[in-house]
Structure 1
Amino acid sequence: MTIRIATLNIRHGGSKFSDALSTRLLGYDADLLVVTEFRANEAGTTLVAQLEDAGYTTTHPMAEPKQNTVLIASRSPIDRAAPFTRDLPGRHLWCAEFDGTLVCGVYLPQAHAKLPYWEALIDRARRSGVDLLIGDFNTGNNDLDKEPKGTKFIGPETPGRLIATGYTDVWRSLHPTAREYSWFSRPGDNGFRLDYIFAAPEFAERVVACEFDHAPRLARETDHSALVASFN
């Protein structure tokens, strides 16, 4: 049995292109969707209804209508959902469990504000039994994960520290020397890889594909590319 996972940042809740984005997300025919920059507003309510009409179970944290957060949608019923930690705002790290799999949807803030969330993940994710960390991490290393002329990342060591706890950067594991980016700066048009799937060993050994889909970004439905992975 193949499990298909997709994640996409829909940019400020996606209200300007809500129909196109819902069609895009449903078109991935994924077993699990992690939608970042989701907003709990009218557009968000519509997206949830469209996903649930298509057979998904959904969960997201409480947030103000203009706050960016995470939506998790699963074909399997979600057994429980909760913030990753009570020590930080739940809208950036939201977890759901289904079929014995624990997933953390991730939307990290920018600049130095993201560092406490990284520290929490590095310290607790493996110990807490999180199988998959999925979403927009707003971080990468300053080598292959950004164009050389682009602004340097804050916290470039954090992905490596997370990997050292036992996770695999799924896309990088299949593309060890490639440069491919999920977001481009304006102005400057410099590319950065911001969107990731990190997998615990029992999932990492089952990966068969992980690729970026640049179509939603190129169509200007959002400013990010989607990341789509398949596991046996």
Structure 2
Amino acid sequence: MRIATWNVNSVKARLPNVTGWLREAKPDVCVLQEIKCQDPDFPRLEFESLGYHVTSHGQKSYNGVAFLSLTKPDDVRIRLAGDDTDEQSRYIEGDVGGVTICGLYLPNGNPRPGEKYDYKLRWMERLRQRAIALLATGAPFMMTGDFNICPADADVYDPAGWAEDALCAPDSRRAWRALCNLGLTEAWRALHPREVEYSFWDYQAGAWPRNNGLRIDHFLLSPALADRLLSCEIDRGPRGQEKASDHTPVICEIA
């Protein structure tokens, strides 16, 4: 099974890019982030014409996630537990082929310090609690999406310049390690222990041609799923296209 994650930075603005990539890559499941549209406006027919079952969890102009699957999911659930007052559309999960796939768009957290950063850390703790609950079942699962976290200095082009940013700050990385230390495997880094590669390049300051990037799109696999990991790759191709998202897809293959 091939699972992809992609922050598309507006699904309607990038629709030809996204559908074109899906036709070529043909992932079994694709989770999208930052769709930036409400559910009635999501272009579901275009994805259904490619054979995908579609569930979106949108929000006007901001955030939003979607779950695309060639096989109809057994169950799809939206919203991350732990805060009934949280109205931001950032989480969706579904069961495909006996695997629970959790798609997420973790808060950016800037400016730091401040309420946005506090919200990011609270959200990460809620995510950790969800992982604990899933681990207790013993069933295989993965958490994937735009985590807005550079786990280590190797995952950011300028570690010193980004040291105090919410994506790299010590508390952010501490929360990331607390999640991983539950026993989750970060798929790309497990297979590429010394490689430097990025999944995001800002639109500003020539970041893409200069390869000034960040690796913030990840797969975390439960122990039951990590043993089935075959590959995890970053596909840089879509980032070089016209009207590209500032992120590029990451694809994980499991047996």
Deviation at 1:188, TM superposition (A): 7.0
1:132-183 deviation digits (Å, cap 9, x = unpaired): 1011000122421212344121312222221101111000000112211111
Whether 1:143 and 2:144 are equivalent positions in the alignment is no
Whether 1:4 and 2:22 are equivalent positions in the alignment is no
Distance 2:249 2:161 in 1: 21
Change in 2 beyond 3 A, CA 1:20/1:170 = same
Q: Which runs of 4+ in 1 moved over 4 A?
A: 41-44
**Bigger Rg, structure 1 or 2:** 2
Query: Mapping of 1:1-232 within 5 angstroms?
Result: 3-11=1-9, 13-41=10-38, 45-46=42-43, 48-61=44-57, 63-82=58-77, 83-85=79-81, 87=83, 88-89=86-87, 91-111=89-109, 112=117, 113-129=119-135, 131-147=141-157, 148-152=159-163, 153-154=168-169, 155-185=172-202, 186-187=204-205, 189=207, 190-220=212-242, 221-232=244-255
Segment of structure 1 superposing worse, 32-41 or 83-92: 83-92
Q: Which amino acid in the other structure matches residue 49 of structure 1?
A: L
Segment of structure 1 superposing worse, 78-87 or 163-172: 78-87
Relative to its length, the structure with more strand (as a share) is: 1
1:102-131 deviation digits (Å, cap 9, x = unpaired): 111110121213221211112231323470
Q: CA RMSD in A?
A: 2.1
TM-score between the two structures when normalised by the length of structure 1: 0.88
User: How many residues end up aligned between the 2 structures?
Assistant: 227
Q: Which amino acid in the other structure matches residue 147 of structure 2?
A: F
Distance 1:156 1:43 in 2: 36
Q: Give aligned-pair identity as a percent.
A: 28
Structure 1 stretches of 5 or more lacking a match? none
Query: Is contact 1:101-1:131 (8 Å) kept?
Result: yes
Change in 2 beyond 3 A, CA 1:136/1:50 = same
Distance 1:114 1:172 in 2: 23
1:56-109 deviation digits (Å, cap 9, x = unpaired): 112122x33212211111122122222231514461121112333211111012
Structure 2 stretches of 5 or more lacking a match? 110-116
1:35-58 deviation digits (Å, cap 9, x = unpaired): 111133599522x21221222112
Query: Is contact 2:59-2:88 (8 Å) kept?
Result: no
